[in-house]
Structure formats: C-alpha cells, structure tokens
Amino acid sequence: MKQTHRDALKCKREAEDQIKEAKEFIAKEQLRMPNKWETMYEKLVDYKIKHRNCVVPQQCNTDPELSKLGRWVGNQRASYKQYINGGNSYLTPQRISKLDELGFVW
C-alpha cells in the first residue's frame, strides 16, 4: 500500500511526540537522580560516623538497608572505574571529590 503525504506527516508527528515524551521522562529522572545520590551519600556519612570507615558490606542478612547501602557503594566503585576509563558514568568530579573527602575506598 502506498503511503500518502498525510500518512507520512502523521507518522512524523507521532515520532516527534514519542521523542518529546522520552526527553521529558529523562529530564525528570535526571532531577530525581541527584536527590537519590545525595540521600545515599548521607547514609554513607552516617555509616562513616558510626563505623569510622566507608567499607560497607554488600550483603547483610539482618539489615536490608545496610545491604542497599553496600550495593550503592559497590555501584560507586564501578562507576568510578568507568569514569576514569572514559566510559559513561553518572559520577561527576564533584561527587568523586565528596567521596574522596569522606575517605571513600575506591
């Protein structure tokens, strides 16, 4: 079946709408991500005050929140490796600096 000019315009508009929705979703996620990162960073600060180090176990059967923090710490290390190797990473120099100041073990 031959596509008409009107059909092509309709497809183009639909694609543009999908792109716009995707961009809006990404923008919302990017706004949310710093807050999530900061929340986890504050939990790491609390851990450091209590335990005098930033070496958080990645699994803790008795404390799911500690396990969550441990996974986050592991993700920071993985993201740092990507960052220093020139790959995609959500870690910024500012975040790296904050973790360094805290005594984070990469």
Say if residue 27's pLDDT is above 60.
no
Asked if residue 41 lies in contact with residue 67, where contact means CB atoms within 8 angstroms, the answer is: no
Please tell me whether residue 26 adopts helix, strand or coil conformation.
helix
pTM check: above 0.85: no
Confidence of residue 10 (pLDDT cuts 50, 70, 90): confident
DSSP of 28-84: HHHHHHHHHHHHHHHHHHHHHHHHSS----S--TT-HHHHHHHHHHHHHHHHHHHHH
Average the pLDDT over 86-101 and give the result: 94
Asked if residue 88 lies in contact with residue 82, where contact means CB atoms within 8 angstroms, the answer is: yes
Q: What letter would DSSP give residue 90?
A: S
Task: Considering only residues 11 and 91, tell me which one the structure prediction assigns the higher pLDDT.
Answer: 91
Question: Tell me, what's the pLDDT at 106?
Answer: 94
